């Protein structure tokens, strides 16, 4: 029975990933890492290039190239932070792109959830919170797990399970 459940979870996870990534990348006209970088910057402006790269799973050199492309597209701007540190911030065009990406990633997910009634949605919310807490134990980095999240909607009136798992682990 667990093999089937694992298989169903894997298939659902991949399908959800495909919807989220396609929505974000199509709306922003950027790569997957570019979409993640823009969404990360919307919640954490003025990150350094190296830290931004870490949060989206890129080396420093790959992150610098990605930021070059985002800057050329007018989505971000760099500013010196003193020494060798370079901070990255969204431009107004980048902020607009993030709004579009979050809407485009959220719409198909909301549509998928329409097959569930209110009680099922509440149950799924609790189960996903429990799974995300366990996934944090495995991955150990809320910034990586939540890199494509709309953090405002996840924490409005609730506690983010990933953030709570990080606090419980002494990470924040």
Q: Average pLDDT for consecutive 10-residue bins of the chain (172 residues)?
A: 86 93 92 95 93 94 96 95 85 96 92 96 95 94 90 82 92 64
Output phi, psi for 91, to 5 deg: -90, 170
In this structure, are residues 75 and 36 in contact, taking their beta carbons and an 8 Å threshold?
no
Domain with CATH 1.10.10.10 in the chain: 1-115
Output phi, psi for 39, to 5 deg: -65, -40
Output phi, psi for 156, to 5 deg: -75, 105
- Report the distance separating Cα 78 and Cα 128, nearest Å: 37
CB-neighbour burial class of residue 158 (10 A; exposed 0-12, middle 13-18, buried 19+)? exposed
Output phi, psi for 92, to 5 deg: -55, -40
- Report the distance separating Cα 34 and Cα 90, nearest Å: 12
What class, spelled out in words, does domain 1-115 have in CATH? Answer: mainly alpha
**Confidence at residue 1, expressed as pLDDT on a 0 to 100 scale:** 55
**Confidence at residue 48, expressed as pLDDT on a 0 to 100 scale:** 93
**Confidence at residue 172, expressed as pLDDT on a 0 to 100 scale:** 62
Structure-token match 């065009």, residue found: 93
- Report the distance separating Cα 42 and Cα 147, nearest Å: 11
Output phi, psi for 75, to 5 deg: -95, -25
**Confidence at residue 153, expressed as pLDDT on a 0 to 100 scale:** 81
Tokens of 42: 């919307």
**Confidence at residue 44, expressed as pLDDT on a 0 to 100 scale:** 92
CB-neighbour burial class of residue 95 (10 A; exposed 0-12, middle 13-18, buried 19+)? middle
């Amino acid at each position: 029975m667990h093999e089937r459940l694992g298989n169903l979870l894997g298939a659902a996870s991949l399908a959800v990933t495909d919807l989220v990534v396609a929505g974000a990348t199509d709306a922003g006209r950027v790569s997957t890492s570019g979409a993640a970088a823009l969404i990360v910057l919307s919640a954490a402006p003025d990150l350094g290039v190296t830290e931004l790269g870490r949060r989206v799973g890129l080396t420093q050199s790959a992150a610098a190239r990605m930021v070059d492309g985002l800057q050329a597209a007018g989505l971000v701007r760099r500013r010196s932070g003193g020494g060798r540190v370079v901070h990255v911030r969204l431009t107004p065009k980048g902020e607009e792109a993030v709004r579009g990406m979050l809407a485009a990633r959220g719409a198909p997910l909301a549509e998928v959830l329409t097959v569930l009634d209110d009680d099922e949605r509440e149950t799924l919310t609790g189960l996903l919170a429990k799974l995300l807490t366990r996934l944090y134990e495995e991955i150990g980095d809320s910034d990586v797990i939540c890199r494509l999240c709309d953090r405002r909607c996840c924490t409005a009136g609730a506690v983010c399970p990933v953030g709570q798992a990080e606090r419980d682990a002494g990470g924040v």
